[in-house]
Structure 1
């Protein structure tokens, strides 16, 4: 069980949704124009709509190139797409540094598709101060580390404080149980005419949401038996979660009119004041404000994920890795970039403060949104103090989230072929939310067989 003793309030770019538009082909690692120089192609550059994040990224590139005169960095706005990623990786058309969700590292490590960066990390003075639970999902059984995380998070219950008030609910006391979620969602729908609670159900995000719910109800999605992964969700916790959604959708009519949603749909509607609650991380505050123009940001509230039956809260992050196909020279440069761009800003108080100051210069930016700690508690406290002058979010609205983190059991996403599992579970979520007569037991039995067949085929 992971116990987080402190949270960190650091500046960072918008967390990318699990799926996005398809990536265009990137050029292979190539030489720069100068003698002995190289050009490093890296994912992680924010979209043009994120002006503060883009300015921060460009400054980071300039600082890195100044410190490493033989390396030129070319940023890419390409993002992870589960439909095309594996093919691009196999064809060696991805960048020298790739950005993937936490569902992917274990598969990429097992398949030998990414490079270990253990040596470079261990040579860094502060390697031993990493939170070991942050590195564990990025490591193999022998302790070799293959990536650096950015903005790790724990999922929670995001809610609209204004709609809580309009429904006669206390915005400082959001739900702490699933029964309370159901009751409050019904009250919001009845009193305001808005959706009390909305779940994502497409683009693999339905499976992701069902994983959050399964964990929260004390269940599992997959397990390892005899050295191989098999599905583990055809049991009471997942059934209880789905039956809760079914009751909210069809008995309470508290989930709104639109049921085929991805994260973009949900956060956009939330930003417009149309949704009372959804499952997400505090990082969606940035999406709501910076990408979807949420003007009433004082209405954004964040609470811990309700638990049931010894449940756990799903944790995740974006992860930066180096493909195995990258040559040694570019791989060495890539490791330097990972430490400079993602490890150092999360550790160094001066760098963290400079990033926060850069972001705070843009009135549309969000500085201080809580994340999970990358380093030990002592360092995280120093980082929080360093960026305090630039924090521009109302931290009291995140207190129901941050004050409960220490008591939560945190679990990462499924280790093996999570995206393929999510794709199957999407169909289950969609059926429950769109078909009043959907039979949960039958849906899960069919999904169980389908996932086991997929996992078996991929482990031959």
Structure 2
């Protein structure tokens, strides 16, 4: 046998060996399942989600998770276009009030019952943010995320400065007004130098006040908003009176967040996430947190819960694996990290009821607000702005009957338009 022939034979044998060895690796690479996840961008959330993806992949070597983030301004439209074209991600973050129309459109899939049943979801998660995610078939089509309630931030040092007990924040609307009037300060020309209490005309705050006051904001028979009940309009009038009658809030004073940081605002209705914001910019700022004051002694402290949903899209080829990924993102351990590292509120009872959270004076009222919180009943993103517009018109002196009638008409028209656009009528 010639050396040349032997060399050719050896080379062929070596090549076949390489192919043989490489085949299992190639086959393994080809069977690796990829999950593409979309969400709107925020620095803390982006970092946390990418860390969770790395941890999930480490525990599941045959899975690849790709987290794609987009600016909020373009995100929602991108989701709509992608889903309509059948080219969306496997899992995504969407507004919770979108889920009721995404379900009949066939753009999302229910969570895999093999991993978590409807009964388990009802038992393990607080009801407020979970409610919009339930389909007509009784199954859930998402897990709540990016959850926020409304609480009251206050500055004990300003209470003490005007002779109030800094350890006794207001528990009723009347007490809040009285404390606000004591704290508010005006210059010789009547210009505001310090505000007492502010809502900012922020829609979740205004809706929370309505709910507290006993308003039923949904006409179940008509499937439309009902904002013109006496309970709803009285609450909105109370919020406007903070500006026009009691003069504890001055929209012309500038940002309520800047005022609170500069100790020129005694109390502010806000999402709990502002705690992290205040601490990051003004670490020495002294403040307390309580549940929002009730309309009357012993009254309701119900808060509106705003939330997004983690959903499995119709594009997911393995809905069970997609569900497993989302459950990992919202596991007990993950929710603890979300809260402590980003300020996103937990939704699992076992996290909310932890002694370490219930015993913390800042965290405890937030946990209670979650248990009492309810979701908004409408699906249109254009209903809430009608409430803020009504607050603006009231504080500018327009006649309340006309303001309330216009608010109701605009809210109904907004909901009808959205339902028609989404094919729900």
TM-score by length of 2: 0.76
Alignment partner for residue 313 of structure 1, among 299, 302, 307? 302
Determine the C-alpha separation between the residues in 1 that align with 2:35 and 2:322.
7
Determine the C-alpha separation between the residues in 1 that align with 2:211 and 2:239.
15
For residue 16 of structure 1, what is the aligned residue in structure 2?
Answer: none
More helix as a share of residues: 2
Q: Secondary structure, in 3 states, of the residue corresponding to 1:194?
A: strand
On the 8 A contact 1:149/1:318 being kept in 2, the answer is: yes
Does residue 232 (structure 1) correspond to residue 232 (structure 2)? The answer is no
Determine the C-alpha separation between the residues in 2 that align with 1:111 and 1:166.
57
Does residue 100 (structure 1) correspond to residue 100 (structure 2)? The answer is no
Determine the C-alpha separation between the residues in 2 that align with 1:322 and 1:405.
25
For residue 223 of structure 1, what is the aligned residue in structure 2?
Answer: 219
TM superposition shift of 1:175: 1.1
Determine the C-alpha separation between the residues in 1 that align with 2:122 and 2:136.
18
On the 8 A contact 1:114/1:321 being kept in 2, the answer is: no
Q: Secondary structure, in 3 states, of the residue corresponding to 1:423?
A: helix
On the 8 A contact 2:146/2:308 being kept in 1, the answer is: no
Does residue 422 (structure 1) correspond to residue 387 (structure 2)? The answer is no
On the 8 A contact 1:207/1:421 being kept in 2, the answer is: no
- Trace 1:116-135 onto structure 2 (pairs within 5 A): 116-122=110-116, 129-131=123-125, 133=127, 135=130
TM superposition shift of 1:428: 1.1
For residue 198 of structure 1, what is the aligned residue in structure 2?
Answer: 198
For residue 301 of structure 1, what is the aligned residue in structure 2?
Answer: 288
| Shift in alpha-carbon separation, 1:102–1:315, aligned structure 2, 3 A | farther
Q: Secondary structure, in 3 states, of the residue corresponding to 1:75?
A: strand
Q: Which has the higher contact order (CA 8 A, sep 6+)?
A: 1
On the 8 A contact 2:118/2:139 being kept in 1, the answer is: no
For residue 349 of structure 2, what is the aligned residue in structure 1?
Answer: 375
| Shift in alpha-carbon separation, 1:133–1:394, aligned structure 2, 3 A | closer
TM-score by length of 1: 0.70
TM superposition shift of 1:220: 2.7
| Shift in alpha-carbon separation, 1:300–1:139, aligned structure 2, 3 A | same
Determine the C-alpha separation between the residues in 2 that align with 1:419 and 1:268.
27
Does residue 70 (structure 1) correspond to residue 62 (structure 2)? The answer is yes
5+ unaligned residues in a row in structure 2: which ranges? 1-27, 187-191
For residue 5 of structure 1, what is the aligned residue in structure 2?
Answer: none
For residue 159 of structure 1, what is the aligned residue in structure 2?
Answer: 154
TM superposition shift of 1:89: 1.7
| Shift in alpha-carbon separation, 1:404–1:117, aligned structure 2, 3 A | closer
Q: Secondary structure, in 3 states, of the residue corresponding to 1:321?
A: strand
Q: Secondary structure, in 3 states, of the residue corresponding to 2:349?
A: coil
Determine the C-alpha separation between the residues in 2 that align with 1:409 and 1:320.
19
On the 8 A contact 2:112/2:323 being kept in 1, the answer is: no
For residue 178 of structure 2, what is the aligned residue in structure 1?
Answer: 183
5+ unaligned residues in a row in structure 1: which ranges? 1-32
Q: Secondary structure, in 3 states, of the residue corresponding to 2:331?
A: helix
Q: How many residues align?
A: 382
CA RMSD of aligned residues (A): 3.7
Q: Secondary structure, in 3 states, of the residue corresponding to 1:328?
A: coil
On the 8 A contact 1:47/1:54 being kept in 2, the answer is: yes
Determine the C-alpha separation between the residues in 2 that align with 1:56 and 1:431.
41
On the 8 A contact 1:285/1:300 being kept in 2, the answer is: no
Q: Secondary structure, in 3 states, of the residue corresponding to 2:223?
A: strand
TM superposition shift of 1:398: 4.8
Alignment partner for residue 411 of structure 1, among 365, 370, 374? 374
Rg bigger for which structure? 2
- Trace 1:447-458 onto structure 2 (pairs within 5 A): 447-457=407-417, 458=419
Determine the C-alpha separation between the residues in 2 that align with 1:96 and 1:266.
40
State the Cα deviation string for residues 47-77 of structure 1 (Å, max 9, x = none): 34x4xx6654443222111122233223344
Determine the C-alpha separation between the residues in 2 that align with 1:394 and 1:130.
21
For residue 287 of structure 1, what is the aligned residue in structure 2?
Answer: 277
TM superposition shift of 1:164: 2.5
| Shift in alpha-carbon separation, 1:419–1:208, aligned structure 2, 3 A | farther
Determine the C-alpha separation between the residues in 1 that align with 2:168 and 2:97.
32
For residue 142 of structure 1, what is the aligned residue in structure 2?
Answer: 137
On the 8 A contact 2:88/2:313 being kept in 1, the answer is: no
